[in-house]
Amino acid sequence: MRTLICLSYLSLFLCSCLPENSLPDESTDDLSNIDIELKEFFIAFENAAVTRGVEMDLSEFELTGSIEEIHQENVAGICHYNSNLPNRITIDKSFWKNSSKMLKEMVVFHELGHCVLARGHREAENQNGHCLSIMRSGTGTCTTLYNANNRKYYLDELFFYEE
């Protein structure tokens, strides 16, 4: 199965599923294939898991992570799934340049939600129209304001929600 999931960053979020045609990257047993700017967010993800009692060693996943232009309109991040290859995360360069640290974290964690936690999308919202999960696809109508106050809620949801 070869699919690709995208997270866009403007008012509407889109998800697409497309074939992946890349060749295998050299395998690694650490985070050396993660862009230096992404690494702190990967480590924050590990820490968020561990502080919740969830065993998490991202080096076991042999992930790669890069920041480059994604030539699809309004797409901020992609998790490339390929059953024969380690998963790859790509974050859009323009998005990265123009985003706050919190928004960067939300997008990286969303993609790790796909690539590491094998989560799909969750569109549920509360009565104020706020998304109940950062795993929202964006095709719905809810909005996500991810900030220092609600970060704990969203990360609890990310690691413990059962689909």
**Helix pair angle (151-160, 36-51), 10° resolution:** 80
CB of 141 to Zn ion, least distance (A): 16
Asked if residues 86 and 29 have their Cβ atoms less than 8 Å apart, the reply is no
Is residue 89 a contact residue for Zn ion (CB under 5 A)? no
Q: At its nearest, how many Å lie between Zn ion and the CB of residue 114?
A: 6
- Site for Zn ion (CB under 5 A): which residue of 2, 3, 4, 7? 7
Ordered strands of the 2-8 beta sheet: 2-8, 75-82, 88-92, 64-68
Size of the site for Zn ion (CB under 5 A): 2
Shortest Å distance, C-beta 133 to Zn ion: 11
Query: Binding of Zn ion at residue 75 (CB under 5 A)?
Result: no
DSSP class of 2:
E
Q: Counting contacts by CB under 5 A, is residue 5 touching Zn ion?
A: yes
For 155, the 3-state DSSP assignment is: helix
CB of 157 to Zn ion, least distance (A): 15
Helix (H) or strand (E) holding 107: helix 101-115
> Among 163, 47, 161, 151, which Cα is nearest to 106's?
151
Residue range at the interface with Zn ion (CB under 5 A); choices 6-14, 54-62, 90-98, 152-160: 6-14
Q: Which stretch binds Zn ion (CB under 5 A): 2-10, 16-24, 89-97, 99-107?
A: 2-10
Least distance to Zn ion, CB of residue 29, Å: 27
User: Would you say 16 or 27 has its CB closer to Zn ion?
Assistant: 16
- Provide the binding-site residues for Zn ion, judged by CB under 5 A: 5, 7
